[in-house]
Structures are given as C-alpha cells and as structure tokens.
C-alpha cells in the first residue's frame, strides 16, 4: 500500500480533530478544573461536585461515541462484504429504523419486555427490517440499487409508523424521540459497559469469520468448492452486524451514515482486502462519530435547541453519499430500463378515464357525506343530511378538496418525471424533490428571520429548486442513469430526516404543527386555503396538458427526440420547472411523503393508459382518489383520533412500492 493512499492519514487527521475539539470543550465546560482533568476522568474527588460531573458525563460520552462509531463501522463492513454492495450499511438496509420502531412499540405496549434487555427488542426490529429488505431484493440477486431502494422504502415505512405513534402518544414518546435522534449525552458509565461487553464479543466472532468472509471476494462457485457454506456464512455475518447495530440503537438511538462512511473512506483511502478494510474502518468510524459529537458539544452553547449527534451525522452523511456515488462501483446493479415504460394500450382509453372520473366523484361524495358523528359521549357512523350542510362545507369540504388537489399535482409531477427520465421508479418523493421542499420550509423556520405570509411557499420553492439542481449536477455526466438518480434522491431525503430529527428533539413550540405537516396532514385546511390550492392545481393542469408531445417523445431517448424536432434541453428545463411548482404546491399542504407521485402513474399504465395525455389525466384522477380515500380513512379508522392523510397514503404507496421492487 502506498504512503499516499494509506488510511492512516485519515485516522491521524480525525484523531487530531478529536483531541483539538475535546480540549476546546473541556476548557469551555470545565475550565475551572484545568490541571485536574485526568484525575476527574479516572478517579474524581467525591467532595468536588464538578469533578464528579466531568467523570460521569464527558468521559463516558467520549467512550460511548468511540465504541458506537466502531460498532457501526464493523456492522457496515460486514454487510458490505456479505452483500458485495459498497452502499450497504445499517441505515441503508433499514436496520436502524426497524430497531427504533420496535423500541417505540415496546415502550407503549410492552414496557416489561425491556427487562429482558432492550438490545433484544431492537434486534428483533432490525432483523425484521433487514429480512424484509433482503426478501424484496432477492429476486434481483441483491443488486446494489435494488437493495438500497428496498432499504429506503422499509426505512420510510418504519418511520411512518413511528410518526403515527408519536402523534397519538406525544407525551409518552417525546423523550424517546429525543433519544432516538442519536443523543450521546451520558449521566453514568452504564452505556459504556453495555457497549464494551457486546462490541468485544461481536469483534471476536467477526475475527473468527474473517478468513471465510475473505473468500466472498472470489466467485461464489470458487468459494463453495473450498467447502464453505455460503448461506450459513452470510446469515452469521449479517446476524453479527444487525446485533451490534441493535446494541448501539438501544443504547444511544439512531446514528446515521457511520456504517456507510467508515468502510467507504477506508476503501477509497487504499484498503483493499477485507482485513485491511476491517482494520481501518473501526478507528475511522470511532473517530468520525467522536469528531461529530465534539462539534455538537462545541455548537451547543450557540444554539437554543438541542442538536442530536445522530441527526448531525446524517446531515454530514448526505453530502458524503453524494460525493461517494460517482466513485464507488455499483457492479451488478440492475438498472430500470426504458422498456419498463412499455405497457399494453387499451383500444378505448376514454372509457377508462370516464370510469375513473366516476370513481373519483363517488369517493368525494363518500368522503364528504359519510363519517362518524358525536352524540353526547358516543360516536357512530352516519350520512350527513341537508341540515348538516354547513358542517360539511366548513369542516369536510376544505380537507377533501385540499387532498384531491394535492393528489392531482403529485400525480402529474410523478408522471412528468417518469416519462422524462424513462425511469418508472421516479417520483417527487423518491427523487428527494418533496424532501427539498420540506428542507426549505424547516430551514426557514429554524433561521432567526421574520416570517412573511408567503415565506413558507418561497422557502419550499427554493428547497425544490436546490434539490433539482443537485439532481442535475450529480447525474448529468452519467446521462441520468436510473440507479444513480434514485440514490441521489435518497441522499437528499436523508438530509430531511436529519433536520426532522433536530426539530423533534428541540423544545420549539412550532415542532408539533411541523410534525403534523411533515406527516402529511390536511388538519389546517380552510375554505380560503382550499380555494387557492384548487385554483393552482387547475392552472398547473392546464399548463401541463399541452406538453403531451414532449412527454411522448422524451421516453424514446434524447437522440430520437432531437431527430423529431424536440429541443431536449429546453423541454426538460420547462418540465422540471413545472415539476418543482407542482411538488411545492402539493407538499406545502400534505407534507413531503405520500408516494402518490410514484403510485398514480404506475396504476394508470397498468390500466392501459399509456399515451402521454391519457396517462396524465388518468394519473391525476387516480392521485385524487388515493389522497381523498387516505384522508377519509385517516379521519375515520381510529375516530376520534386521526391519522394524517400523508401517513395513510405513504403506507398504501409503500406497499405498492415493495410490490414494484419485487418485479424488478
């Protein structure tokens, strides 16, 4: 290994950062103990309260950060080796989100289960999520892109369930979500001992598996010829990775991207063999998390809100993933081909459109007229009569119309993206455009600026444009390859997850309303806002429909479209601008996650609506149907409690997304 390509320089740089920042934080927080720091850390004087505080807070926090980072790096290294996927990690495989969801459920309905060991509950959730990811991608032979996409949808699904539970049990789970954002703050040495024992056991077992795992670098047939049971080896290594991840999650919450970043940095720095990658990944992961935590501690006096370390690692990891994508080989990824756009056409698609229009009208009528009503202390389902017309207009009509308009706009945006890129897995939610809108809104809320009436819309538009620019900048050179495009969207979405975690962990009173919006709520719809959103939706629909020729020719590829007289660059720019406007308008009223933009265009094609105009209209009607039905189900399933329409739509769309991944 050459001197210039050795990971030792990365390790030395990170170690210098930990030492420098650690000294600054010590001097800032415990400057009065200067000269007694080592004594306070190792053997404090019980009569000096400041030494005791340092001994039980700062010292164990540093060790927990080092061990947690090393554990996640070990898990990521094992997962990448077993799956032959440089983008595999506890976060991208959904293990961390599944572990958190299991802990949330246990906290609410089985607190006695915690007595058996919280790591076992987290292990069950993480193992279940990982098993689902592997099942979804098994048919594609664990192709890297399909594995990462499966991990994305499983993570989002687990996050949607956790968000719904938080809305119902906010008082019980607020502390859990502060911890779940990755809070390394300590008040004892319990977590240090907890992690030290388990990390030591897993590390010994991993070293015992090191030699057979190295054979996975060979072809599978060659490894089998040496007498290795590949299935048992894979399950053993994945089991170790999932277990050590569950231990970290149960101790300190969600820590993002360390498991992805540490092995990737080691690989890019010159570590080629598994032994080298494992040997360098552990110190890199440990120091990465320690540096991040030291940065968080240094920034804490400057911010009014708590900055969770786990969320900060995700915020730093998103740009890292964008930087890694062009540099890491994704051999074996199964791209989504343009042939996937081809579907049988119906001889009379107009009949299908009229049928969809009739279904949309029926769904709207049911959503407006049927639901639960309160009489005294009891509630029962009933149809609204003419005497209840005022109640319907004031309370139900704004929500139903808002949900319909948002579904229409998301469906149009998804159809445009899928036809423009030739990628049937594209949508505003998956490509991170909806997340960009949310990032713009959250960033505006966090900045100490005056909030003007239109600032939320302008912030969302700025975030959407920024997300589109990132997508273009990161994918222009590779010709907007589907797998790279989707992974870029995952990176943008992960940044939203970090900002959401920071907001939820803060004491900002606006966090609750923001959580409802992020979950996709129509709670705050009014007759005035309904009028605006319906007018905007109709205006954008009128602008989109005349562009059907572009949407017919662009899926054929840029050379063919140019030969037929289409100015490809100009048409793409206009279409992307419309996508941004559609996504901003819809996301501002129903939140950043619903999967309607992915679901509706697919359903339209399955119905034989394959021509651009027919697919646009059909997808718009289907988007309206899905969102209105989701809003109605959210209002009535657990009455008087309500689920946000976006959460219900995400659960419906997530199931469809999983089904679509199985077909890749």
Of the pLDDT bands very low, low, confident and very high (cuts 50, 70, 90), residue 334 is very low
Is the domain of 448 the same as that of 558? yes
- Assign 624 a pLDDT band (cuts: 50, 70, 90): very high
pLDDT at 265: 85
Residues 69 and 198 placed together within one structural domain of the fold = yes
Residue 89 counted as domain residue? yes
- In this structure, the answer to whether residues 245 and 387 fall within a common structural domain is no
Q: Can you give the residue range of the structural domain that contains 58?
A: 3-324
H or E element in which residue 223 lies: helix 220-225
Give residue-wise pLDDT tens across range 19-32: 999 889 888 888 88
Residue 333 lies in a domain: no
371 in the same domain as 299: no
The pTM (predicted TM-score) of the whole model is 0.75
Q: Are residues 589 and 466 in the same domain?
A: yes
* Domain tally, the chain: 2
Do 488 and 399 share a structural domain? yes
Last residue of a domain, one of 324, 352, 382: 324
Same domain, residue pair 301 and 381: no
Residues 131 and 277 in one domain: yes
Q: Using the 3D structure, point to which of 324, 353, 382 is the last residue of a domain.
A: 324
Q: Which residues contact 388 (CB under 8 A, 6 or more apart)?
A: none
Instruction: State the average pLDDT over residues 241-259.
Output: 84
**Strand bridging mode 378-383 / 370-375:** antiparallel
Instruction: State residue 377 phi and psi, 5-degree precision.
Output: -105, 5
Question: Taking the CB of residue 108, how many other CB atoms lie within 10 A of it?
Answer: 14
Do 645 and 630 meet the contact criterion of CB atoms below 8 Å apart? yes
Taking the C-alpha atoms of residue 107 and residue 384, their distance in angstroms, rounded to an integer, is 39
CB 584 within 8 A of CB 461: yes
- Are 296 and 445 in a shared domain? no
- b/e burial code for range 408-417 (CB count within 10 A of at least 16 → b): bbbbbbbbbb
**What pLDDT does residue 622 have?**
93
Nearest-10 crossing angle of helices 170-180, 144-168 = 140
Asked if residue 375 and residue 311 are part of one domain, the reply reads no
Confidence band (pLDDT; 50, 70, 90) for 345? low
Q: Are residues 390 and 261 in the same domain?
A: no
CA dist., res. 518 & res. 162, Å (int): 13
Please write down the HEC assignment for all residues of 132-159. Answer: HHHHHHHCCCCCHHHHHHHHHHHHHHHH
Arithmetic mean of pLDDT, 188-202: 91
| One domain, residues 299 and 380 | no
pLDDT for the residue numbered 18: 92
Q: Are 84 and 111 in contact (CB under 8 A)?
A: no
pLDDT score, position 325: 67
CATH number for the domain that contains residue 48: 1.10.3470.10
pLDDT in tens, 430-486: 778 888 888 787 777 766 554 444 566 777 788 888 888 888 887 777 666 666 677
What tens digit of pLDDT does each residue of 474-520 get?
A: 777 766 666 667 777 777 777 776 776 676 666 666 666 666 667 66
d(CA 277, CA 266): 6
What's the confidence (pLDDT) of residue 43? 82
Q: Is residue 186 part of a domain?
A: yes
The DSSP 8-state label assigned to residue 181 in this structure reads: T
pLDDT range class, residue 74, cuts 50, 70, 90: very high
Please identify, among 324, 353, 384, the residue that sits at the C-terminal boundary of a domain: 324
User: Is residue 340 in some structural domain?
Assistant: no
């Amino acid at each position: 290994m050459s001197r210039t390509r050795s990971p030792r320089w990365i390790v030395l740089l990170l170690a210098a950062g930990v030492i420098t920042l650690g000294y600054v934080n010590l001097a800032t927080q415990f400057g009065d103990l200067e000269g007694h720091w080592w004594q306070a850390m190792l053997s404090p004087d019980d009569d000096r309260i400041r030494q005791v505080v340092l001994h039980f807070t700062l010292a164990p926090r540093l060790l927990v950060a080092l061990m947690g980072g090393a554990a996640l790096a070990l898990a990521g290294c094992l997962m990448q080796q077993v799956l032959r996927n440089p983008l595999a990690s506890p976060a991208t495989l959904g293990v961390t989100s599944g572990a958190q969801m299991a802990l949330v459920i246990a906290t609410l309905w089985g607190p006695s289960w915690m007595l058996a060991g919280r790591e076992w509950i987290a292990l069950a959730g993480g193992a279940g999520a990982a098993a689902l990811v592997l099942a979804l991608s098994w048919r594609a032979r664990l192709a890297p892109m399909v594995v990462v996409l499966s991990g994305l949808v499983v993570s989002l699904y687990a996050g949607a369930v956790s968000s719904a539970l938080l809305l119902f049990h906010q008082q019980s789970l607020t502390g859990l979500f502060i911890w779940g954002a990755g809070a390394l703050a300590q008040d004892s040495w319990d977590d240090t001992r907890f992690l030290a024992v388990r990390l030591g056991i897993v590390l010994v077992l991993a070293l015992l598996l090191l030699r057979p795992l190295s054979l996975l670098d060979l072809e599978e047939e060659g490894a089998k010829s040496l007498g290795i049971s590949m299935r048992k080896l894979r399950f053993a290594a994945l089991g170790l990775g999932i277990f050590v991840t569950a231990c970290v999650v149960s101790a300190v919450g969600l820590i993002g991207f360390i498991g992805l970043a540490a092995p990737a940095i080691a690989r890019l720095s010159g570590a080629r063999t598994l032994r080298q990658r494992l040997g360098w990944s552990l110190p890199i992961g440990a120091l990465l998390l320690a540096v991040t935590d030291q940065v968080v501690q240094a920034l804490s006096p400057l911010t009014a809100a708590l900055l969770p370390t786990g969320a900060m690692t995700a915020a730093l990891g998103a740009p890292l993933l964008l930087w890694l994508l062009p540099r890491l080989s994704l051999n074996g990824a199964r791209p989504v081909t343009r042939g996937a756009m081809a579907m049988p056409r119906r001889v009379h698609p107009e009949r299908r459109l009229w049928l969809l229009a009739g279904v949309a009208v029926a769904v709207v009528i049911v959503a407006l007229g049927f639901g639960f009503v309160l009489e005294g202390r009891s509630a029962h389902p009933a149809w609204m009569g003419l005497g209840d017309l005022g109640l319907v207009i004031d309370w139900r009509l704004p929500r139903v119309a808002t949900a319909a308009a948002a579904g229409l706009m998301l469906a149009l945006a998804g159809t445009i993206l899928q036809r423009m890129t030739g990628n049937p897995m594209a949508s505003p939610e998956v490509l991170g455009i909806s997340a960009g809108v949310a990032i713009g809104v959250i960033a505006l809320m966090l900045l100490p600026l005056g909030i003007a009436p239109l600032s939320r819309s302008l912030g969302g538009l700025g975030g959407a444009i920024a997300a589109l620019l990132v997508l273009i900048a990161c994918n222009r050179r590779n010709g907007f390859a589907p797998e790279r495009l989707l992974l870029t969207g995952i990176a943008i979405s992960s940044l939203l997850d970090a900002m959401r975690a920071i907001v939820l962990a803060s004491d900002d009173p606006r966090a609750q309303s923001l959580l409802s919006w992020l979950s996709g709520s129509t709670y705050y719809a009014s007759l005035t806002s309904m009028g605006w959103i319906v007018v905007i939706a109709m205006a954008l629909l009128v602008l989109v429909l005349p562009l059907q020729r572009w949407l017919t020719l662009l899926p054929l590829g840029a050379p063919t479209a140019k030969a037929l007289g289409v100015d490809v660059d100009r048409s793409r720019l206009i279409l992307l601008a419309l996508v941004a406007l559609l996504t901003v308008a819809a996301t501002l009223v129903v939140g950043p996650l619903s999967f309607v933009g992915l679901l509706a265009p697919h359903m339209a094609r399955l119905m034989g609506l394959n021509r651009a105009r027919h697919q646009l209209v059909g997808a718009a009607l289907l988007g309206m149907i899905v969102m209105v039905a989701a809003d109605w189900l959210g209002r009535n399933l657990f009455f008087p409690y309500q689920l946000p329409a976006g959460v219900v739509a995400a659960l419906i769309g997530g199931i469809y997304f999983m089904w679509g991944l199985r077909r890749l």
